[in-house]
Structure 1
Amino acid sequence: MALAHGPETRHHRLPAVLRAPVEARTWREFGHLLLGLPLSVLYFALSITMVSLGAGLVVTFLGVPLLAAALVMCRAFGTVERARARGLLGVEIAEPAPVRGRPGGGLMGWVGGVLKSGESWRHFLYSVLHMPWAIFAFSVSLAFFTYGWGLLTYPLWRWVFPAYAGVDGIQLYGDGTHEFYLDSPVEVAVTSLTGLFFVLVTPWVIRALAGVDRLLVVGLLSPSRLATRVSELESDRGVVVDTAAADLRRIERDLHDGAQARLVALAMDLGLAKEKLLEDPEAASAMVDEAHGEVKLALAELRDLARGIHPAVLTDRGLDAALSAVASRCTVPVTVEVDLPTRPAPAIEGIAYFTVSELLQNVSKHSRASRATVDVWRVDDRLMLQVTDDGCGGADVTGGRGLAGLTERLDAVDGILAVQSPAGGPTTVVAELPWRG
């Protein structure tokens, strides 16, 4: 949930209690409460009628589809209420997930999906519960509003009583023997002051009533936490699948363009050396020496590739040794401090390793720094990583694929990446991962 109308930051000369009666927010919320009564009566009548009719006919073929149609109608009411809350209460509420029927189930599968949806039943519950509250909110807000402004402006319209009713003013008491009218200047002034009190109090009453409306809309018409979490997990699963596919493509490309090409050239060189072995032994020996150098280069490339997939030092000795090895390959001096009581889960350990590796690569390529530091520690059930450098700054999560891709990878495991990199530096990147030891 988000507020569509943010709080005003400019300073006012009048205090809030004097501004509230004429502020746009008060009038929007008052309009919301007034409009809520006729709409809630319509929602209540239609939803109760349709659900009762569907439940009564459930023993027949028509009952189940009719009950599903009633719930779909309630979801439509929820759409109207979310739009009304967005426009008048300043509350932004996400739309619930669409109803999903059983794959291949056709119309009856969709009907089953509607009936099994907890969000559909919460929309029905809102249609039923909102009416008694709307009656109360309508009555209280309208009473405070009309009595407040009516009494405040009493001196302006008191002339109606002697002119058309034959009395001197508002009658407070009368039993046939004694009568009391608000007609003297003092009584009129006290009446007007009483109205002023109600006018000043009314906006806060309206805001309190509207606050309950906000709770009802958010609590019953917003997506459930479970549905939101499922949607997040589906999105994270897509990120993981895309990342794995990208890694496989990178490995295939590195093998094809690197070690594989060198091995093909090596095979050709050895073939030529074999042919020249008897004719020109010296040339053949030179070719074998050159092939030996190509073998070393191919082995180095394969070693780097294997390290990029999952370094053996990480598995054998943990993050401290693995990050120290990464730091030694950085183009600037890097200080590594790892303070962990135990080792986290292997998957989290691998993500932490590659996160630091990517950040140190950014330091080498883009920061123009003279030194960097890596700190790793544990806070409760979270693994914290911090990489800092004294470079030129200007790193941005949205500025390119590197940090943006790293953020998506961390999101996939409920991690967080925070970047603080003002122009001119220094740059501090903090990553937070679940421990899962």
Structure 2
Amino acid sequence: MRETRLQRHARAPWRGLALYLLSVPATLVGLWFITVVSMITSFVGVLLFPSAAMLLRTQLDAYRSRINKWTGVRVQRPYLPEQETEPGVLGMIKRFVGLASDPATWRDYLWVVADPIVALFTAALPGMLILYGVWGYALATFAGGLIGHYGGSDWYTWIHVDSGYDRSAERIVSTVVVATVCIVVGYLIGPKMLTVYGHWGRLLLGPTRKSELALRVRHLQESRSEAVDASAAELRRIERDLHDGAQARLVAMGMSLGAIEHLLDRDPEKARILLAETRASSAKALSELRDLVRGIHPPVLADRGVGDAVKALALDHPLRPEVNVELPGRPEPPVESAAYFAVSEILTNAAKHSGASRVWIDVRYERGMLRITVTDDGRGGARMEDGTGLRGIERRIGTFDGVLALSSPVGGPTIVTLELPCALSSPKTSPS
């Protein structure tokens, strides 16, 4: 549920204080980390370094999670991919070298050292101002008189709190004014200070160019592997469908034609019956081949693009989805194919599992992205972990750097959103 502007201003100061309080356990972990670093000259330091580095990473993952959630600034994990751990002393030393040579390890420690100071003047500042304002109200109402009664002396900004404080209307009014200003300013600057803190977090906790490149290479390797696996699975499906369907019918037709040759002179009537059966088998084989070709790449997708292909898909769907298409051109054919089959899989899931009575599909192009949203009014409660369908879609569009987002609260509605980066060509027209 998206926050309103008022909610964001109301929550930002306390989120900033929560981020500041995270520095307490982070500092303790940082002290343990630097203690282990000081022992690196001995084998004990080499032995303990990996666990200390991983503990530091786990603690700073909590920062990244909250920065991503609260500040509107996206901070990715920056760590270089770890190699498989080898057994024995040699493997232990290799892991130590790998972690120690990762710049993100030392940037994590720099964060632990510097963040308590930076957070105090950014994320925590609005909350501190509000608490200082509350203290001002307390002074004006009762605490100032108590301090003066017991002979104490204090200052609230430039206002002296002493034995005569509760008898000075001017000082009490000044305290209330200053306290009010502190509270108002604290709430007003809260979201801005969180954003500033988020950029600070991305500066140290985000990936460097080296780690960005390494993470990009790993993502491409995984995408390539998944694309190869998906292609191999698709080829096996086509082979299986051909073997069990059209190929079996063609073999049976060949046998029937051989039998007809022997029966033409001896029993023409029976030959005529076999010819009729063979003609029916050929029609079924042709229908199966057409279905198979349509499953590989529907003609309407090649001829008219993903928008019209989705509309054709909706016409054959039992729920008859409402389709809205706003595309000024056509994406590349591989992107169109991935998007089409993703929508097909989502509609199949909706028909089987959602209990929906209505489905809406929105296809549009925004800021360099092909964006497709499929919404149904079913029972909801869908999760990515519940089956292989959505995971398969995620892998398919991941080949093109696409992303999939699922929103499915219990009771519905279920909203599946696909985004695939692509460029559009001019619309392809065909004669009617």
User: Would you say same fold, with TM above 0.5?
Assistant: yes
- Aligned counterpart, 2:305: 319
Residue 286 (structure 2) pairs with residue 296 (structure 1)? no
Residue 109 (structure 2) pairs with residue 124 (structure 1)? yes
Structure 1 pair 237–127 and aligned structure 2 pair: CA distance change class (3 A): same
After superposition, give the CA deviation of every residue in 1:173-220 in whole Å (9 maximum; x if it has no partner).
Answer: xxxxxxx99444666555555555565566666996984766655654
Residue 145 (structure 2) pairs with residue 155 (structure 1)? yes
Give the letter aligned to residue 338 of structure 2: I
Residue 58 (structure 2) pairs with residue 79 (structure 1)? yes
Identify which of 82, 94, 100 aligns with 1:100: 82
- Aligned counterpart, 2:382: 398
Supply the distance in 2 between the matched residues of 1:159 and 1:325 (Cα, whole angstroms): 81
- Equivalent positions of 1:316-355 (< 5 A) are 317=303, 319=305, 323=309, 326=312, 330=316, 343-354=330-341
1:71, 1:124 within 8 Å by CA — same for their partners in 2? Answer: no
- Equivalent positions of 1:134-173 (< 5 A) are 148=136, 151-152=139-140, 153-161=143-151, 170=153
Task: Report how far residue 75 of structure 1 moved.
Answer: 4.7
1:101, 1:111 within 8 Å by CA — same for their partners in 2? Answer: no
Structure index of larger Rg: 1
- Aligned counterpart, 1:13: none
Give the letter aligned to residue 123 of structure 1: D
- Equivalent positions of 1:221-240 (< 5 A) are 221=205, 226=212, 240=227
Structure 1 pair 360–30 and aligned structure 2 pair: CA distance change class (3 A): closer
Structure 1 pair 430–156 and aligned structure 2 pair: CA distance change class (3 A): closer
2:148, 2:161 within 8 Å by CA — same for their partners in 1? Answer: no
Task: Report how far residue 114 of structure 1 moved.
Answer: 0.6
After superposition, give the CA deviation of every residue in 1:350-376 in whole Å (9 maximum; x if it has no partner).
Answer: 33454576688899999999xx99997
- Between 1 and 2, higher relative CO (CA 8 Å, sep ≥ 6) is seen in 2
Supply the distance in 2 between the matched residues of 1:419 and 1:250 (Cα, whole angstroms): 28
Gaps of 5+ in 2: 409-413, 426-432
After superposition, give the CA deviation of every residue in 1:44-86 in whole Å (9 maximum; x if it has no partner).
Answer: 66656665775xx6xxxx59x9479557535524534655898
Give the letter aligned to residue 319 of structure 1: G
- Aligned counterpart, 1:247: 234
- Equivalent positions of 1:170-181 (< 5 A) are 170=153
1:94, 1:222 within 8 Å by CA — same for their partners in 2? Answer: yes
Supply the distance in 1 between the matched residues of 2:251 and 2:329 (Cα, whole angstroms): 45
Structure 1 pair 302–194 and aligned structure 2 pair: CA distance change class (3 A): same
1:43, 1:77 within 8 Å by CA — same for their partners in 2? Answer: yes
Identity across matched positions, percent: 30
Structure 1 pair 200–90 and aligned structure 2 pair: CA distance change class (3 A): farther
The alignment partner of 1:76 has SS state of helix
The alignment partner of 2:331 has SS state of coil
After superposition, give the CA deviation of every residue in 1:252-295 in whole Å (9 maximum; x if it has no partner).
Answer: 44224321331232233234334435543442344244324323
- Aligned counterpart, 1:164: none
1:37, 1:134 within 8 Å by CA — same for their partners in 2? Answer: no
Supply the distance in 2 between the matched residues of 1:70 and 1:432 (Cα, whole angstroms): 41
1:385, 1:431 within 8 Å by CA — same for their partners in 2? Answer: yes
Calculate the TM-score normalised by the size of structure 1: 0.58
Task: Report how far residue 123 of structure 1 moved.
Answer: 0.8
Calculate the TM-score normalised by the size of structure 2: 0.59
RMSD over equivalenced CA pairs, Å: 6.4
- Equivalent positions of 1:197-236 (< 5 A) are 211=194, 216=200, 220-221=204-205, 226=212
1:72, 1:114 within 8 Å by CA — same for their partners in 2? Answer: no
**Aligned positions, number:** 390
Structure 1 pair 241–144 and aligned structure 2 pair: CA distance change class (3 A): same
1:338, 1:376 within 8 Å by CA — same for their partners in 2? Answer: yes
1:82, 1:217 within 8 Å by CA — same for their partners in 2? Answer: no
1:269, 1:287 within 8 Å by CA — same for their partners in 2? Answer: yes
- Aligned counterpart, 1:306: 293
Identify which of 100, 110, 121 aligns with 2:95: 110
- Equivalent positions of 1:4-19 (< 5 A) are none
